[in-house]
Amino acid sequence: MKGSIMGKLDFGLGLGSMALGIILYFYFDSLPSDSAFYPKIICYAIILLGAIITITGRLRMKVEKGQGDGKTESSGQKDPKSYRTVLLVVLYLFAYYFLFQVVGYTIPMFLLIVGTVYTLGYRKWKVLLPVALGVSAGLYLVFTQVFRIKFPGAFF
Amino acid sequence: MDNILLGLQSVTDPNVILFLLLGCVVGLIIGALPGLTGNMAIALMVPLTFTMPPNVGLAFLVAIYCSAIYGGSISAILLGIPGTISSFATTLDGYPLAKQGKAGLALGTSTMASVFGGLFSGAVLMFLTPVLADAALKFGPAEYFAVALLGISCITSISGDNVPKGLLSGMLGLIIAIIGMDPQNGVPRLTFGDPNMLSGISLVSSLIGVFGVTSVLKTAELCKKQETLQKVPEVDSVWIGIKECIHQLPTWIRGSVIGTIVGIIPGAGTNVATFMAYDWEKKLSSEPETFGKGNPLGVAAPESANNAVTGGSLVPLLSLGVPGNSTSALFLGAIMIHGMSTGPVFFTDHPDIIYGLFISFIVANIIMAPLGIFLLRYMKTILSVPEKLLAGVILAFCATGVFSIASNPFDVLVTIVFGLIGYFFNKFKIPTAPMIVSMVLGAMIEGNLRQALVASRGSWNFLYTRPLTLGIMVVAVGSFILPFIVPMIKRTFAKK
């Protein structure tokens, strides 16, 4: 990659870190001085490191622009579909988090496994369904019967 | 001696033996599967240990740790893909040996060298840790503050090639450690009015997110690539014979010494040890040209070194309470969920547990040899499990295990959020290890700094008026700046 992409990412990361450091500094400034003293030192460090990363990112962008590294940039870019897959897996996780508190453990877990594995591109249903069923039911039984854990939700 | 007997007594519990065996199997399989790390194996299993007695739970984790490092060599030899990062150097000679039809010799060498390295570091762990812990009994808040800084100074070493990003990761870890109530005056910090946040962020939940969920998200990003199953070569007899063992013994000893010393140094890492051992062996060899083409000593050196790191890395954690790497941070999490803490008090309060841990460490390494040789027969099947199918199972373990620790759904949310943090860190090429080490040491730094300042009436002079504090501070500063100095020295010599 990636060359200039990394330079841009670093530049953004540095600016973001500086902003985070400043926001946190003002937040801690509103607390009693003995509680805020140590966190404020860390905020200074975050702002300073953010500045260093911003400057190095900017320099990297300039150097790579000068070298005409545009070709590497395009070749280093990932297929947007791969990010869509990541996003879907994250959505399944959040859906599981909300669902298992209402519906119970086993059904959301079964759906989480099937959804994730299918989204990743695995299509052998004869393997996937028994594995998903076995893992979700097996974990439920082990955790409730052996470890005495009580799961929330209406159903099992 | 009494304590060692106490430890032996603890290991005679059939449950400990059973979970040592189970831990070795789990670690070996997870370590052998490319993409799944030993850290992830431990992170997934930490919640399970919550319901076990501490001696059983810690024995289980120790067995996973040792055998996962060994398991990494299996795919390194058979597929040319290291199962764990620590087995990277093993591929250099292990894979060529397998291609020459000598997979059995390579695997046998790896098994024996790993066992030797593990046993060597286990002995060092058992005899060195109590001495250090005894010395640490004399420490006050000023010394503990300096020790915590020493632990955190390793950030520069574990930052990879971008130290500012590593330091940023460390600072973010320190901020995360602040979340919750101020332990001294009860003021809530960064809790956003959520009662779940008052007790801080659960270390285990966050580590499961960083190791488990992040690895699944990385798999999701790369899943469009065609999954090609490599042909696993046939494995002949893995027993290398007494003569070959004697021939390799000096290599095992050198690798074990390097691995143990590197392991004790916070932040030095397994990779450093394996490449140092490999490089040293090549330099000492009468036929260095055979290295990289299938020399069994090229397998023996890194394998004895990486398993020797396991014991060494637990020395600073158990004696001083300072984790030097992510794995020790996971162990700390496992110890903390049982309401115990590491450092000198661990030795005085729970000698049975800590000596049980030492003996379990040694027994796990002994079990590893016959188990490894037995399981190698089934490796063809194990290595052909699709990564995509495993990803779903990993998520199931993460989500279930994390909930079971405190029966609090909030922990599941913490795991998901930290999985995302780990993924974004990976995208921005920010190392996660400094954040983890800082999260663990954050409370220790702040608490002891404030106590030391109170004791010295607000003056910072405790840093240089107390000889022990000053000594540790000097080492900490040295450890912090060493990664900057070494390349400069190398450049200067290169110019000359």
pLDDT tens-digit readout, B33-76: 776 777 878 888 888 888 888 889 999 999 998 998 888 888 88
The answer to whether residue A74 sits within a structural domain is no
pLDDT in tens, B457-484: 888 888 888 888 999 899 888 888 877 7
Distance, in Å, from the CA atom of B364 to the CA atom of B356, rounded to the nearest integer, reads: 12
Contacts of residue A123, defined as CB under 8 A and 6 or more positions apart, other chains included, come to: none
Is residue A63 located within the same domain as residue A89? no
Is residue A95 located within the same domain as residue A63? no
Tally: H helices and E strands in chain A: 6, 0
What percentage of chain A exceeds 90 in pLDDT? 59
The answer to whether residue A127 sits within a structural domain is yes
Q: How confident is residue A75, by pLDDT bands cut at 50, 70 and 90?
A: very low
Is residue A48 located within the same domain as residue A10? yes
**What's the pTM?**
0.82
Is residue A136 located within the same domain as residue A93? yes
Q: In 3D, which of A4, A155, A154, A146 has the Cα closest to residue A72?
A: A4
Q: What is the pLDDT of residue B268?
A: 63
How far is the first Cα of chain A from the last one, in angstroms, to the nearest whole number? 48
Q: Where are the alpha helices (DSSP H) in B159-296?
A: 163-178, 203-208, 214-222, 242-264, 270-284
Judge: B220–A120 Cβ closer than 8 Å, yes or no: yes
Average pLDDT value for chain B: 86
Test mutation, B152, B155, B175, B450, chain A, max A CBs within 10 A: B175
Q: Name the amino acid, one letter, at A55.
A: I
The answer to whether residue A84 sits within a structural domain is yes
Q: What is the pLDDT of residue B32?
A: 82
pLDDT in tens, B4-13: 888 888 888 8
Q: Name the amino acid, one letter, at A24.
A: L
Which value does ipTM take for this structure? 0.91
Chain A residues near residue B409 by CB distance under 8 angstroms: 97, 100-101, 152
Chain A residues near residue B172 by CB distance under 8 angstroms: 46
Is residue A61 located within the same domain as residue A92? no
Is residue A53 located within the same domain as residue A105? no
Q: What is the pLDDT of residue B329?
A: 84
Q: How confident is residue A68, by pLDDT bands cut at 50, 70 and 90?
A: low
Distance, in Å, from the CA atom of B485 to the CA atom of B316, rounded to the nearest integer, reads: 24
What percentage of chain B exceeds 70 in pLDDT? 96
Domain tally, chain A: 2
Question: Closest approach of chain B CAs to the CA of A64, in angstroms?
Answer: 18
Judge: A46–B51 Cβ closer than 8 Å, yes or no: no
Task: Give residue A132's domain range.
Answer: 80-146
Judge: A53–B167 Cβ closer than 8 Å, yes or no: no
Chain B residues near residue A46 by CB distance under 8 angstroms: 168, 171-172, 175
Test mutation, A35, A43, A47, A106, chain B, max B CBs within 10 A: A35
Distance, in Å, from the CA atom of B282 to the CA atom of B297, rounded to the nearest integer, reads: 9
Test mutation, B22, B153, B171, chain A, max A CBs within 10 A: B171
pLDDT in tens, B232-272: 677 777 788 889 899 999 999 999 999 998 888 776 667 77
Question: Closest approach of chain B CAs to the CA of A66, in angstroms?
Answer: 22
User: A98-112, B273-287, B304-318, B415-429: lowest mean pLDDT where?
Assistant: B273-287
The answer to whether residue A156 sits within a structural domain is no
Residues 346 to 405 of B: which have CB under 8 A from any A CB? 386, 388-389, 391-393, 395-397, 399-400, 403-404
Judge: A131–B416 Cβ closer than 8 Å, yes or no: no
Tell me the residue length of chain B. Answer: 496
Q: How many CA atoms lie within 13 A of B335 on its CB side?
A: 23
Is the model's pLDDT at A12 over the cut of 90?
A: yes
pLDDT in tens, B135-184: 887 888 898 898 888 888 878 877 767 889 999 999 999 999 999 998 88
Is residue A41 located within the same domain as residue A85? no
The answer to whether residue A153 sits within a structural domain is no
As beta bridge partners, residue B391 has none
